[in-house]
Amino acid sequence: MTQHVLIIGRGGREAALGIKFRDAPSVDRVYVAPGNPGMALLGLTSVPIAENDFEGLIAFAKDHIDLTVVGPEAPLVGGIVDAFEAAGLAIFGVNQQLAQLEASKQFAKAFMARHQLPTAAAVVVRSLREAQTQLQQWQAPIVIKRDGLAGGKGVFVCQTMTQAQDRLHQLYAEDSAMPLVLEEYLVGQEASVMAFFADDRLVILPLSQDYKRRFSGDAGPNTGGMGAISPAPQFTSEEQAAAKRLMQATVTGMMTDDMRGCGVIYMGLIFTAAGPKILEYNMRLGDPETQVLLPQIQEDLYTVLTTLMAGETPRITLNGRYYLTLVMVHPQYPGATDRAVRVKIPEPKDLTSDIWLPAAVDVDEAHLLTSAGGRVVDVVGCGATLRDAQLVAEQLADQYAGELAYRRDIGYHAFHMEHA
């Protein structure tokens, strides 16, 4: 019996999920709410229901859907899983309690302290005066983080105390009582560690690495992510084992605190000279890491998730290939753009072989793809080596970028350590 799947979201991550479910033998049809106009080219059906319209989504799911999968964090924090479960509907994603590990950095830091999980030293401040007083106890560089959801743009690395003071003044000018986290700056390579889970059962995915800075050489402001690689060959087997131990310890802590449920744990990790430390938790798949993780899994994703939800631990096998995604963005991203001025998006020519994932895409009066800003389209390269994957991704980007911009150095940390 073939199943119908509903994906909540609209971006490149949701397009990647859509393709994975579309190609699953057990799935007959994939809907994405709200989706975007480019997804029709992938054989996905967009449904014009907003991510926060829980009543509308539940009504649609009752009539059409066997499993709902949540992409972005905001609906999870808003309680979409709790609402679906109260309606007796199958949904894969964390409940509102578990979502607090992402929604509140204070909550996450307290969780890590309670369970002796290694992380950066930090302090929470709630006013400019308190922040300035605390700042005197620290040395630059220092990291300043917004406490709540910020779409990947709430972390500020300040190289000098002057920069830190300026950033604090800017943030408290927006909200004089804003809770902020002042955090120790850690040095090392970062990795994204993700797992599907249900209670204490885990399916850990390969390590990936994303590139958050807007410009090549890791310059410019933080973004939602400009590209990603997986597997990430620069991480040793010992480091990969340490990442798995920390993921298991996280789940053990969740069970101790009676934080039960199912969904995704995304652990942002940094390998320092003193050992691995947890930078943050996200409680959903990363974007753009999803785009390089899902293609590695050979199994039917619907079967993997429903098996996990049914109380068993499914096994996954990987195809042994390397993946690299390039995120093509509006030229003014991540700055504000004039929504009335749109850039044209070249349509893909061969979706039987090219991995082209529409994100911030719309259509104009002539039904041509356009965009007014943001992360617009992702392309994914695949190869026997990471270098091969990079070459394919750059060929696709050159073909489909048009007026869009992208980084040409995604994966540079790994190339000198890559093994064929």
- State the average pLDDT over residues 15-34: 98
Residue boundaries of the structural domains of the chain:
3-93, 121-184, 189-415
- Cα torsion at 317, 305, 102, 207 (round to 10°)? 0
- Asked if residue 64 has pLDDT above 90, the reply is yes
pLDDT tens digits, one per residue of 351-394:
887 899 999 999 988 889 999 999 999 999 999 999 999 999 99
pLDDT for res 419: 46
Residues 212/226, Cβ–Cβ less than 8 Å: yes
Task: State phi, psi for 376 to the nearest 5 degrees.
Answer: -100, -55
Domain 3-93 in CATH 2.60.120.10: no
The pLDDT tens digits of the residues spanning 113-144 come to: 999 999 999 999 999 999 999 999 999 999 99
The helix-helix angle for 128-135 and 161-174 (nearest 10°) equals: 170
pLDDT digits (tens, 9 = 90+) for 156-193: 999 999 999 999 999 999 888 889 999 999 999 999 99
CA distance 18 to 46: 11
Contact predicate 37/401, CB 8 Å: no
Superfamily of domain 121-184: ATP-grasp fold, A domain (3.30.1490.20)
Structure token pair of residue 189: 């390579």
CATH code for the part of the protein at 189-415: 3.30.470.20
Give the count of beta carbons closer than 10 Å to the beta carbon of residue 155. 17
Task: Report pLDDT for 394.
Answer: 96
Strands lying side by side in the sheet with 375-383: 209-210, 227-230, 322-329, 375-383, 355-358
pLDDT at residue number 420: 43
Which range is most confident: 8-22, 132-146, 335-349? 8-22
Contacts 24+ apart (CB under 8 A), 83-90: 83/54, 83/58, 84/54, 84/57, 84/58, 87/58, 87/62, 89/58, 89/61, 89/62, 89/65, 90/66, 90/306, 90/309
**For 239-257, what is each residue's pLDDT tens digit?**
999 999 999 999 999 999 9
The phi and psi torsions of 44 (rounded to 5 degrees) equal -105, 145
Record the pTM.
0.94
